Structure 1
């Protein structure tokens, strides 16, 4: 039987500390020289800081979840899996799937506010990346090269080759948050392409 933690202990400790640091409106302080509007604006400024910190922490949790899922996937596709007996392999897969399903029960979502132009820019970027996934089935090497050119558009440090100017133009029209997510998505694709290259090399040899 699970027992809820007492206030100020374990999981409740973090919440208590956050609540303790939240600003409060002191309406009883008659000696203050600030006007009611100034007091309210000061409180809102502090609350905005907390909100931005909350968004940052939630975004980090999103990244942590993606990283965990990616690592779990790499475990299930590791070369060592091919050296296992069938029964042992089944045990590992079942264990990994159980951990993965547990990870998927965590849902963290940070919404990004966009205007119409930013929505259109993000649609174009996603359309171009989706094209990479489709091209993967017919020409993996070309898709990998194109992915590198997209990745170069996300960073001042070029991975290899050239920068795709069409993708770069669309990316610049996206919000900063979307640009970061696009970069993470491309990095994941590049990792997948490299994994495919290793598998193909092992099959040939």
Structure 2
């Protein structure tokens, strides 16, 4: 009989849940002393003595003249350290959520590309109806996933982003892959022109991840697109370029 040495699932879940609060472990010690920091001034000597006794080891004794101001400074440092760790975790969480949101947007974009594919016209009416129903089911299922990582924008930046999205949507629905690819190239060139003035530290990494055969510096650029793009936030500019890179990779495969 084989014995399963793995811990019970409830223990694993408990340990994972506990790990979520590891950043707070530095605030668990000296709790009784911390809660008493705001007590009466005459109690401070006894509090200091208690802390001194707790910091005694087998080799030496901490100086009994406990400096309470130093203790308060140390406590403040601990809070700052914990908040620094928490801030880093929040930033990572936000980045992960942005990546998920980007994947969802690419799925929506794929649905739109299938809808506008000219090969749909080669299907019979019944086949096209079946494909449309299938697309609606996929779209409905995708719509159940709600992700909203809010980017702080002023009114003009909101207007610019909406205009950019409209231009890209019109490009997708042109119906001619060659024309769409040419327009996408102009938009990408505009993004690269903006990149010369705004440096994205991880843009090259993003392009390597895409592994697309895309020339983003060829030919002319769309001046209108460039002008509107400059009105977007830096995060939006980066996401717009990544979206266009993915679109260009798809359109290159069609042409």
Do both share a fold (TM > 0.5)? yes
Separation in 2, partners of 1:136, 1:92: 19
Greater Cα shift, 143-152 or 52-61: 143-152
1:156-192 CA deviation, whole Å, 9 max, x = no partner?
Answer: 6635422356754664564331112332455577689
Deviation at residue 87 of structure 1 after TM alignment: 3.0
Separation in 2, partners of 1:28, 1:152: 57
Q: Do residues 183 (structure 1) and 241 (structure 2) align?
A: yes
Which residue in the other structure is 1:59 paired with? Answer: 98
Paired residue total: 183
TM normalised by structure 2 equals 0.52
Q: 1:16 to 1:53 in 2, by over 3 A?
A: farther
Higher Cα radius of gyration: 2
Question: How do 1:43-58 and structure 2 match up within 5 A?
Answer: 43-58=82-97
Q: Is the 8 A contact 1:153 1:165 kept in 2?
A: yes
Question: How do 1:1-205 and structure 2 match up within 5 A?
Answer: 17=16, 20-22=19-21, 23-24=23-24, 25-29=26-30, 31=55, 35-78=74-117, 81-114=120-153, 116=154, 119-121=155-157, 123-124=159-160, 126-127=162-163, 130=166, 148-155=185-192, 158-164=216-222, 167-168=225-226, 171-172=229-230, 174-184=232-242, 186=244
1:61-86 CA deviation, whole Å, 9 max, x = no partner?
Answer: 11111121222333445465445443
Per chain length, whose mean CA-contact separation is higher, i.e. which structure has more relative contact order (CA < 8 Å, sep 6+)?
2
Which residue in the other structure is 2:5 paired with? Answer: none
Which residue in the other structure is 1:201 paired with? Answer: none
Q: Is the 8 A contact 1:122 1:178 kept in 2?
A: no
Greater Cα shift, 164-173 or 104-113: 164-173
Q: 1:18 to 1:74 in 2, by over 3 A?
A: farther
TM normalised by structure 1 equals 0.62
Gaps of 5+ in 2: 1-8, 31-50, 56-70, 196-214
Separation in 2, partners of 1:136, 1:80: 15
Gaps of 5+ in 1: 1-5, 199-205
- Other structure's SS at 2:27 match: coil
Which residue in the other structure is 2:208 paired with? Answer: none
